[in-house]
C-alpha cells in the first residue's frame, strides 16, 4: 500500500471524473435565472476504465481522498478539540475558526466545518465513480470485486464520519452528473446508517483477510467487520455489535502489541494491532504525507503546537501515591520534566496548556524540521484495543458483566505490562466489579485513556448522551442544539434540494 496507493503520481490525471463539464447559465433581465437542465459532459471513456490498471488507479484515488495529508481534512478538530481532551492551542489568533469549534460557536460559514464536508464528499464522489464504472471493466473478477468492496468501505467510512459530525447529510450514491444526483436532500440519520451497514456488509463479503506487504493498508474483511461493529454500537444494537466483533476475533489476525507505545512508531505501521490505518508517505507527488507532525509539534521543531491536551485528560490517567503512573500517559503526550521525542526534556512552556500530543509526531531523526509538515507516520483509525473496549461496552449494556470485564481487563493488562519496571500492586489492576453502572463507568474511563488523542473522544461523548456530554463539556455546551455541526452554507447555496 505504501507504494501501490501512495506512490501513484498520476492519481489526479486519471481520477474517474468528468473531464469536461459545461456549465451554462442564461443571462436574462434577472441575473438569478439559471438553467436547470442536466450538466453536460463526457467521461474519458476512450482512455479510462478500460483495464485493471486504471481500475486500481481509480480506487487509489479514493484512498488518497481520505488521507489527513492536508490540514483542512482533519477530523481531529472535531474528535479532540471539540471534546474535553484538548483545546485549540497554537497562537491565540491563529486559525480562529477552530476556536469557534472549540467553544461550540461554529456556524454554517465556518471554514473548518465547510472544509471537512468537502473533503469527505470528495472521497464519496471518487468511491461512487468506482462503483459506477468498474463493474463494466474487463478484468479479473476477484480483483474487480475486491476493488468494489474497497470503494464501498471508503464510502461507508466517509458517511460514518459525516453522520457523526453533522447528523443529517445528503446521501449521494451516484456520480454527480445530473441535477438529480447533485441536488440531493438531507437524509435521516437512520437511513444513512442503513446505507453504511449495507456497504460494509457487502464489502466484508468480498474483501480479503489480508494483503501482501505491497498492498498493506487497503481495507480488509476485518476492517469492514470492525466498522460494522462500531456502527452497531453507535446505534445501541449491542447484540449485533458483539457478533461483528466476534467475527473480527475469529479471523485470528489481530492482537495487542506487547508495548502500548509501539503502536505509534514508524517501525510498527500496519501492525497486528492495527485494523485500519490511513497511509502516509513523505516526499511524494501528489502529496501523501502527514501534516500532523507540524500542526502538533512545538515551535522549536517548526511546529504550530495545536490540539493541546487538557489538564482534565492528564488527570484521567491513573497514578499511585508512590509516584507510579499509567505508562499510556507519557506515550500519549509530552509533560514537563519528561523525555520528549528527540531525547530532550519536555518543557511546559512549549504549550499553552503545558502539554502537547505525542502520538502523531515523529522524532527529528525521521522527519527534519524542514519537512515537518510532510511526515510518513500513518494515522491508525481503529486498533484491536478499540475493538476490545467496544466489545466490553456492548457486553456491559447487554447485562453480561463477566464478558465485559474479560475484554476490558485485556486492555488494562497490556497497559500494565507496558510499565517500565515493576508498578505498584494497585496500578492498572483488573476491574472486578459486577455492578453494571460501575462497570460502564470503568469502560468509558478506559476508552478515554487508551484512545486519548486518537480523535474519538467527542464522538464517544455524543453517543453516550446528553447527561454525559454536558457534564464533560461544561455549561457552554447544550447537547440538544450543539451536538451536530451545521451543514456548511456553501452546500446550502449549491444544493437546491436542501431547504435553508
pLDDT tens column, 456-471: 999 999 999 999 999 9
Rounded to 10°, the helix 52-65/111-133 angle is 160
Mean pLDDT calculated for residue range 68-83: 81
Query: What pLDDT was estimated at residue 352?
Result: 97
Residue 98: which H helix or E strand, with range?
helix 96-102
Cβ atoms of 14 and 51 within 8 Å: the answer is no
Q: Which of these, 279, 2, 16, 5, lies nearest to 127 by C-alpha position?
A: 16
Return the pLDDT at 285. 85
166-173: average pLDDT = 98
| pLDDT surpassing 60 at residue 224 | yes
d(CA 34, CA 144): 40
Average pLDDT over residues 404-428: 95
- Cβ count near 455 (within 10 Å): 25
**Extents of the domains making up the chain:** 1-207, 292-365
pLDDT exceeds cutoff 80 at 21:
no
The residue whose grid cell reads 485485556 is 410
Cis peptide before 286 (omega within 30 of 0): yes
pTM: predicted TM-score of the whole model, two decimal places = 0.91
Rounded CA gap, 232 and 89, in Å?
34
**Contact status, residue 228 vs residue 244, Cβ threshold 8 Å:** yes
**Mean pLDDT calculated for residue range 9-13:** 36
Q: 350 forms bridges with which residues in the sheet?
A: none
Q: Which top CATH class is 1-207? A: mainly alpha
Of 195, 193, 185, which Cα lies nearest the Cα of 487? Answer: 185
Would you tell me the crossing angle of helices 221-234 and 238-250 to the nearest 10 degrees?
A: 160
Helix intervals (H) in 290-435: 292-296, 311-316, 328-332, 384-397, 401-417
Q: Report the length, in residues, of the chain.
A: 500
Q: Which three-class secondary structure state does DSSP give residue 491?
A: helix
Q: How far apart are CA 419 and CA 411, in angstroms?
A: 13
pLDDT beyond 70 at 68: no
User: What does 312-347 look like in DSSP terms, one character per residue?
Assistant: HHHHHS-B-TTS-B-THHHHHEE-TTSB-TTSSBP-
Convert the pLDDT of each residue in 281-330 to its tens digit.
Answer: 998 888 889 999 999 999 999 999 999 999 999 999 999 988 899 999 99
State the pLDDT at residue 67: 85
Is the per-residue pLDDT at 397 higher than 80? yes
Amino acid at each position: 500500500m505504501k507504494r501501490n496507493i501512495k506512490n501513484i503520481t498520476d492519481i489526479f490525471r486519471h481520477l474517474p471524473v468528468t473531464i469536461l463539464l459545461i456549465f451554462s447559465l442564461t443571462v436574462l433581465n434577472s441575473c438569478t435565472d439559471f438553467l436547470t437542465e442536466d450538466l453536460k459532459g463526457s467521461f474519458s471513456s476512450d482512455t479510462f476504465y478500460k483495464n485493471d490498471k486504471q481500475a486500481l488507479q481509480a480506487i487509489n484515488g479514493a484512498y488518497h481522498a481520505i488521507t489527513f495529508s492536508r490540514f483542512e481534512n482533519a477530523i481531529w478538530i472535531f474528535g479532540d478539540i471539540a471534546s474535553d481532551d484538548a483545546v485549540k492551542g497554537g497562537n491565540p489568533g491563529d486559525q480562529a475558526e477552530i476556536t469557534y469549534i472549540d467553544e461550540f460557536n461554529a456556524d454554517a460559514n465556518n471554514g473548518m466545518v465547510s472544509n471537512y464536508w468537502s473533503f469527505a464528499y470528495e472521497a464519496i464522489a471518487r468511491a461512487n465513480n468506482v462503483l459506477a464504472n468498474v463493474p463494466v471493466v474487463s478484468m479479473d473478477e476477484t480483483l474487480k470485486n475486491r476493488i468494489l468492496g474497497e470503494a464501498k468501505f471508503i464510502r461507508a467510512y466517509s458517511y460514518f464520519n459525516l453522520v457523526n459530525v453533522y447528523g443529517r447529510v445528503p446521501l449521494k450514491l451516484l456520480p454527480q452528473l445530473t441535477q438529480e444526483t447533485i441536488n440531493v436532500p438531507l437524509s435521516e440519520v437512520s437511513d444513512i446508517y442503513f446505507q453504511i451497514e449495507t456497504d460494509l456488509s457487502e464489502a466484508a463479503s468480498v474483501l480479503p483477510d489480508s494483503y501482501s506487504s505491497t498492498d498493506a493498508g487497503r481495507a480488509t474483511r476485518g476492517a469492514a467487520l470492525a466498522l460494522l461493529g462500531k456502527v452497531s454500537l453507535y446505534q445501541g444494537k449491542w447484540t449485533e455489535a458483539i457478533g461483528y466483533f466476534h467475527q473480527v476475533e475469529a479471523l485470528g489476525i489481530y492482537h495487542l502489541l506487547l508495548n502500548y507505545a509501539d503502536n505509534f512508531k514508524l517501525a510498527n505501521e500496519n501492525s497486528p494491532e492495527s485494523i485500519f490505518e490511513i497511509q502516509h508517505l513523505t516526499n511524494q507527488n501528489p502529496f501523501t504525507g502527514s501534516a500532523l507532525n507540524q500542526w502538533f509539534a512545538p515551535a522549536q521543531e517548526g511546529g504550530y503546537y495545536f490540539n493541546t491536551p487538557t489538564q482534565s485528560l492528564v488527570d484521567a490517567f491513573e497514578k499511585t501515591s508512590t509516584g507510579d503512573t499509567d505508562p499510556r500517559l507519557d506515550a500519549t503526550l509530552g509533560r514537563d520534566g519528561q523525555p520528549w521525542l528527540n531525547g530532550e526534556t519536555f518543557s511546559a512552556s512549549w504549550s499553552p496548556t503545558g502539554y502537547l500530543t505525542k502520538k502523531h509526531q515523529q522524532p527529528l531523526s525521521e522527519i527534519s524540521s524542514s519537512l515537518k509538515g510532510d511526515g510518513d507516520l500513518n494515522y491508525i483509525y481503529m486498533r484491536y484495543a478499540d475493538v476490545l473496549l467496544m466489545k466490553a461496552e456492548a457486553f456491559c449494556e447487554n447485562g453480561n458483566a463477566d464478558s465485559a470485564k474479560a475484554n476490558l481487563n485485556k486492555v488494562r493488562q497490556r497497559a500494565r505490562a507496558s510499565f517500565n519496571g515493576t508498578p505498584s500492586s494497585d496500578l492498572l489492576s483488573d476491574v472486578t466489579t459486577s455492578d453494571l453502572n460501575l462497570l460502564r463507568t470503568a469502560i468509558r474511563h478506559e476508552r478515554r485513556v487508551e484512545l486519548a488523542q486518537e480523535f474519538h473522544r467527542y464522538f464517544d461523548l455524543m453517543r453516550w448522551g446528553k447527561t454525559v456530554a454536558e457534564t464533560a463539556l461544561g455549561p457552554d455546551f447544550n447537547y440538544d442544539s450543539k451536538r451536530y455541526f451545521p451543514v456548511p452554507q456553501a452546500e446550502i447555496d449549491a444544493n437546491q434540494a436542501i431547504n435553508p
